């Protein structure tokens, strides 16, 4: 039986002074060690789901929530102050909002959370340098965080969370300000974190990368979870486009072929899957 590290049971959440809930009757089970892509159109509730899982929706936003959020089988409200934040690392969509503003170098910025936890200086240095290498920002360690580009700041924000070594990572659009090379490097970091056993919830619009890396997909629409399941099942389903989900390129092409009467029996969602399918078709014909 799979280990359910996060559970949402009929969760509805409303921000203060709003009439319509941002989340409505969400029920989900998140398995330990897997990477979940969270997708949906703008305003579908993706960021709200993230902050609700981390406990920030009620503690910082001060909204009203009904239902239950459980981390490792225990309700959020039953944890002592600070316990949940040690288990869950949250990387904000806007890196500028995550940089503390009280440290003069990237090294100090990444180390800030470790300082607050009272980590030994020698250990702290090793952890900061190690995470800088992992996120490819070692060359930025002596620079001022506010002198960096948006993409570089995004890497620093990610590093400042990863250095705390949380077992759950909630990451909101980490590649929004990165070029293709930077995007690929971030996904390689995420792949490494998954291999280390981290549980990752990732909000991302780049569907081809989600198709390659995610184990499962959660689809939100107007605050409701309208689909959740294995990545291939969700991102291969042409019906998802009706709900504001852009399909991966290969999925879109092969769904169009199917509509035109050319059915391969399955819908590939990655380039490698498509090549394999075409080779099998060719071998079958020959």
Q: Which residue has the higher pLDDT, 128 or 60?
A: 128
Please state the pTM of the whole predicted model. 0.93
> What does the alpha-carbon distance between residue 202 and residue 218 come to, in Å, rounded to a whole number?
10
pLDDT of residue 152: 87
CB atoms within 10 A of CB 12: 17
Q: Please, where are the H alpha helices in the chain?
A: 46-54, 56-59, 83-87, 95-98, 106-116, 121-134, 150-162, 180-195, 207-213, 231-235, 249-259, 271-285
pLDDT of residue 241: 93
Q: Is 94 left (phi over 0), alpha (psi -120 to 50) or beta?
A: beta
> What does the alpha-carbon distance between residue 181 and residue 183 come to, in Å, rounded to a whole number?
5
196-252: pLDDT as tens digits: 999 999 999 999 999 999 999 999 999 999 999 999 999 999 999 999 899 999 999
pLDDT of residue 150: 81
31-68: pLDDT as tens digits: 999 999 999 999 999 999 999 999 999 988 999 999 99
Mean pLDDT, rounded, of the chain: 92
pLDDT of residue 286: 42
Cβ–Cβ under 8 Å, residues 173 and 204: yes
Cβ–Cβ under 8 Å, residues 71 and 249: no
At residue 285, does pLDDT exceed 60? no
């Amino acid at each position: 039986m799979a280990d359910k590290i996060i559970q949402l049971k009929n969760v509805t959440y409303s921000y203060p002074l709003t009439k319509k809930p941002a989340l409505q009757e969400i029920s989900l089970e998140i398995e330990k060690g897997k990477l979940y892509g969270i997708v949906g159109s703008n305003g579908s509730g993706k960021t709200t789901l993230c902050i609700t899982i981390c406990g920030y929706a009620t503690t910082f936003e001060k909204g009203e929530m009904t239902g239950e959020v459980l981390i490792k089988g225990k309700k959020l409200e039953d944890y002592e102050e600070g316990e949940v934040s040690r288990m869950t690392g949250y990387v904000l969509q806007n890196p500028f909002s995550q940089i503390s503003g009280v440290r003069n170098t990237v090294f100090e910025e990444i180390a800030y959370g470790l300082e607050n936890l009272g980590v030994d200086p020698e250990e702290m240095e090793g952890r900061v340098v190690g995470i800088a290498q992992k996120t490819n920002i070692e060359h930025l360690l002596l620079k001022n965080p506010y002198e960096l580009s948006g993409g570089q700041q995004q890497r620093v924000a990610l590093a400042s969370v990863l250095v705390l070594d949380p077992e759950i990572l909630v990451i909101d659009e980490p590649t929004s300000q990165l070029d293709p090379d930077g995007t690929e490097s971030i996904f390689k970091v995420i792949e490494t974190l998954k291999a280390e056993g981290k549980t990752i919830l990732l909000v991302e619009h780049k569907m081809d990368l989600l198709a390659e890396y995610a184990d499962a997909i959660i689809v939100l629409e107007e605050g409701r979870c309208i689909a959740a399941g294995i990545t291939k099942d969700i991102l291969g389903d042409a019906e998802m486009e009706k709900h504001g989900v852009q399909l991966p390129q290969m999925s879109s092409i092969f769904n169009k072929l199917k509509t035109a009467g050319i059915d391969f029996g399955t819908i590939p969602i990655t380039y490698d899957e498509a090549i394999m399918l075409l080779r099998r078709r060719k071998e079958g014909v020959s």
